[in-house]
Amino acid sequence: MSRGSSQRFDDDVVMGKAYDGRLLRRMAPFVAPYGRRLGLAIALLIGAALSEIIPPLLVQRAIDGPIQSGELNGLWGIFALYAGALLTTFTLRYSHSYLINSIGQSVMMDLRIYLFRHIQQLSLSFHDRNPVGRLLTRITNDVDALNEFLTSGMLLILADLVTLIGIILVMFLLNWRLALISLAIMPILALIVTIYQRVMRATYRLIRQRLAMINAYLNEQISGVLVTQLFGREAPSQDYFANMSADYLQANMRSVLYFAIFMPTVQLMAAIATAALLWGGGVGVLGGWASLGMLIAFVQYTQRAFEPIRNLAERYTILQAAMASAERIVGVIDTQAEIRDPDEPVTLPTPVRGTIELRDVVFGYDPHEPVLKGITLTIPAGQAVAIVGATGAGKSSLVGLLARFYDPQEGVITLDGIDIRHLRQRDLRRHIASVPQDPICFSGTIATNIRLHSTEIGDAQMRKAAETVNAATFIERLPGGYGYEVRERGANLSLGQRQLLAFARALAFNPEVLLILDEATSSVDTATEALIQEALARMLRGRTSIVIAHRLSTIRHVDRIVVLDKGRVVEDGSHDELLARQGFYSRLYRLQFAAQQVEG
């Protein structure tokens, strides 16, 4: 097994800069509606940071004042101030925290909904390229990272800064010589933090990258576990996973090592500062330019001043993660849907009749590898057309173009004479229902699987659709009937049953003109299929329909057959015409029926 897939996750592991104004400006509109509350939150935070500086000052006052002079009454005043400062801090911090988190939650919700809407309207070509897991990460983890940036990254750095500056100011006001002594070590500390942060950055990237690989692998292995079991590949899978896990472990161990070195080093710096303070302060006390209380207060201040700097490493990581997430989110937001509604949509003339025309349509998923190589086809309103052809000929691709899942690179497709690119997608798709080749089932009840979350489809209509495709027979036998819980991907239904559900769904949405069946009953037994066809024949009278099927019995009722081969229309005509032609279709036909006819 190759690890070639690793570069596919690079997107998930880029570690951006710690600060990128461009990205922040892009995210700003999401925060803007809460600007005033954010301002208040910042004010509260600054207040809290300032009120936290007070206590050591009070300690100094107490020691140099009442305690050394023996005036006990003064102590009460200081105690009251102390308690006041504590309560203020508490109130400010708590209200800040509540406020900022409520902003964060609101921003996250807005952003998630925005992203969901955006990704949902992106074209299928985008979804083909991006695994679901990756898109999920955008909406969950990446948004979370931004929230963390908002609620604890950015603001706390600000608070740290305020604290640091406040402490330095107070220290200088109290005693500039002591202040210089205790701050002398700061540049070295800053240097250590910078180095640590550099080293960790690479390690974090490695960790994230390896975790992403583990997750992707895990996801696929869980989804495909049955295949692995049936083919007896558990052991290789386990080995592969063990290797990945070991790589991840190794990356983590590296980060443990760095951290284990970093923390004691910072501690040592603090000790050096304290020792220097003790020494310098001692000299000061002896020399009369410092007091004992100051010395004790300075010891506390120094320790407090260390905290913001030590935190910086952690905050920096949050910042970086947030920037990387922002980058990815902006990347998604900037992805324009290739299929877009026109600025001035045209409305279809009513009543919609359902004439479809394709003119010189060329299309490829990769523009350099055309799948459809010049298709011209006119389907008059009300005609039932079958498309047959070898597998991979481009049948599904062709009908995908009609619903405008993709746009052709060349040529035009019209519905009732109007280029479908001039229509709103909603309007177009309201007239089309297609039953796809792979039936999709969602977890939820049978009923929601048929009508999705549409509120327009009532129970009666839903049941009617299920009855038409003969799905009702099996549904009613399930425990719970229409309330039967379908599992993820329809795991507790047979494939034929899933196809019937997908079929029922198409009918429930009651397309007004065009019904597309892409091998809609390929896994359904022929008896059920025959019943469906009778029902359909009644229903479809007057509507245009396109049927793709390999079983020719499925297309017995069509007016016309189009044979597609390697992306081109090679035969086109009624059943009899094509038989007479002795071409592809007649060969196909004979293959399927010759055998039985001999015995019949």
Partner 1 sequence: MANLRHLLPYMARYRLSLLIGLCCAIIGATVSTLSPYVLRLAVDELSTGTILLSSLTRYGGLLLIIALADGLFKFFQRMLIIGTSYAVENDLRRALFARYMQLDQSFFSQNHTGDLMARATNDLSAIRQLLGPGINGSATALFTFSAAALLMLFVNVPLALIVLLLMPLTTLIFILVGNRMRRTFTKVQDQFGTLSTRVQENFSGIRTIKAYAQEEAELAVFAADNAHYRTLSMRYMVLSGALWPLMTLGLGIVAALVLLVGGRLVVAGQLTIGQLAQFNAYLVMLSFPMIMLGWVVSLVQQAAASMDRLLEVLTRKPAITNPEVAIPLPHPRGEITLEGVGVRYTSERSDDRLSPRPAWMLHDISFHVPAGSSLALVGATGAGKTTLVNLLARVRDPDAGRVLIDGIDVRQLDLANLRRAISYVPQETFLFSRSLRENVAFGVDQADHAAIAHATTVSCLANDLDQFPDGIEAMVGERGLTLSGGQKQRVAIARAVLRNPAILVLDDALSSVDTHTSAQILTQLHELLRGRTSIIIAQRAATVRDADQIIVLHDGQIAEHGTHNELLQLGGHYTAMCRRELLEAELTD
Ligand X SMILES: Nc1ncnc2c1ncn2[C@@H]1O[C@H](COP(=O)(O)OP(=O)(O)OP(=O)(O)O)[C@@H](O)[C@H]1O
Stretch that binds partner 1, among 187-195, 196-204, 258-266, 353-361 (CB under 8 A): 258-266
- Which tokens belong to 259? 């951290």
Q: Token pair of 8, please?
A: 């596919």
Nearer to partner 1 by C-beta: 106 or 461?
106
The distance of Cα 370 from the centroid of its chain, to the nearest Å, equals 30
Residue 525, interface with partner 1 (CB under 8 A)? yes
Q: Count how many residues are written for the chain.
A: 600
- State the pairing for strand pair 568-573/418-419: unpaired
Taking each helix axis from N to C terminus, what angle separates 292-334 and 176-183, rounded to the nearest 10 degrees? 50
Q: List the one residue from 26, 37, 112, 205 that touches partner 1 (CB under 8 A).
A: 112
CA gap 200, 193 in Å, rounded: 10
Tokens for 561, please give them.
């057959």
Q: Is the Cβ of residue 20 or residue 518 nearer to partner 1 in the bound state?
A: 518
Burial class from Cβ neighbours inside 10 Å (0-12, 13-18, 19+) for residue 304 reads middle
Nearest approach in angstroms of CB 425 to Mg ion is 22
Nearer to ligand X, 521 or 533 (CB): 521
Cβ distance to ligand X smaller for residue 143 or 500: 500
* Least CB distance to partner 1 at residue 438 (A): 7
Smallest gap from residue 155 Cβ to partner 1 (A): 13
Site for partner 1 in 58-87 (CB under 8 A): 58-59, 62-63, 66-68, 70, 72, 75-76, 78-79, 82-83, 85-87
Q: In whole angstroms, what is the distance from residue 302 CA to residue 26 CA? A: 39
Count CA within 13 A, CB hemisphere, residue 360.
Answer: 3
Nearer to Mg ion, 297 or 506 (CB): 506
Q: Which residue, 338 or 438, is less far from Mg ion as judged by CB?
A: 438
Q: Does 452 bind partner 1 (CB under 8 A)?
A: yes
Q: What angle do CA 145, 123, 359 make, to 5 degrees?
A: 170
Strand order across the beta sheet in which 384-389 lies: 432-435, 514-518, 544-548, 384-389, 560-565, 568-573
Measured from the CB atom, is 330 or 339 closer to ligand X? 339
Site residues for Mg ion, window 396-435 (CB under 5 A)?
Answer: 396
Position among 194, 336, 347, 492 found at the interface with partner 1 (CB under 8 A)? 492
Residues lying near ligand X in the complex (CB under 6 A)? 128, 365, 371, 389, 391-397, 437, 491-497, 523
In the bound state, the residue with its beta carbon closest to Mg ion is: 396
Q: Is the dihedral of CA 86, 92, 95, 99 positive or negative?
A: negative
| The two structure tokens encoding residue 174 | 């109290």
**Closest CB to ligand X among residues 187, 479:** 479
Site for Mg ion in 378-397 (CB under 5 A): 396
User: In 326-415, at which residue ranges do the beta strands (DSSP E only) sit?
Assistant: 356-363, 372-379, 384-389, 410-415
Q: Is 460 in the site for partner 1 (CB under 8 A)?
A: no
Strand (E) or helix (H) holding 226: helix 225-230
5 binds partner 1, rule: CB under 8 A: yes
When CB distances are held under 5 to 8 angstroms depending on the partner's kind, the choice from Mg ion, partner 1, ligand X, none that residue 19 binds is none
CB 361 to ligand X: min, Å: 13
Q: Minimum CB separation from partner 1 for residue 512, in Å?
A: 13
- What are the start-end ranges of the H helices in 288-435? 292-334, 395-402, 425-430
Instruction: Decide if residue 225 touches partner 1 (CB under 8 A).
Output: yes
Q: Which residue, 322, 30, 13, 12, is CA-closest to 153?
A: 322
Is the CB of residue 385 less than 8 Å from the CB of residue 561? yes
**Binding partner 1 by CB under 8 A: which of 44, 46, 139, 319?**
139
Q: Which of 494, 553 has the CB closer to ligand X?
A: 494
Q: Does 514 bind partner 1 (CB under 8 A)?
A: no
Rounded Cα distance between 89 and 50, Å, is 9
- The strand pairing partners of 572, in sequence order, are 562
Per-residue contact flags (x/-) with partner 1 for residues 395 to 414, judged by CB under 8 A: -x------x-x---------
- Of 167 and 493, CB closest to ligand X: 493
Nearest to 562 by CA among 298, 356, 367: 356
Q: Which of residues 144-203 bind partner 1 (CB under 8 A)?
A: none
Considering the rule CB under 8 A, would residue 474 count as an interface residue with partner 1? Answer: yes
Of 85-104, which residues contact partner 1 (CB under 8 A)?
Answer: 85-87, 89-90, 93-94, 97-98, 101-102
Give the number of residues in contact with partner 1, rule: CB under 8 A: 186
* Residue 232 contacts which entry, partner 1, Mg ion, ligand X, none (Cβ below 5-8 A, type-dependent): partner 1
Q: Which are the contacts of 165, defined by CB distance < 8 A and separation ≥ 6?
A: none
The residue type of 160 is: D
Q: Which of 88, 123, 255, 437 binds Mg ion (CB under 5 A)?
A: 437
Which one of residues 37, 127, 359, 422 is an interface residue with partner 1 (CB under 8 A)? 127
* Minimum distance from residue 233 beta carbon to ligand X (Å): 22
Element (H, E) at 268: helix 234-287
Specify the long-range contacts of residues 114-121, CB closer than 8 Å, at least 24 apart. Answer: 114/30, 114/333, 115/139, 115/143, 115/329, 115/332, 115/333, 118/332, 118/333, 119/332, 121/337
> By the criterion CB under 5 A, which residues form the site for Mg ion?
396, 437
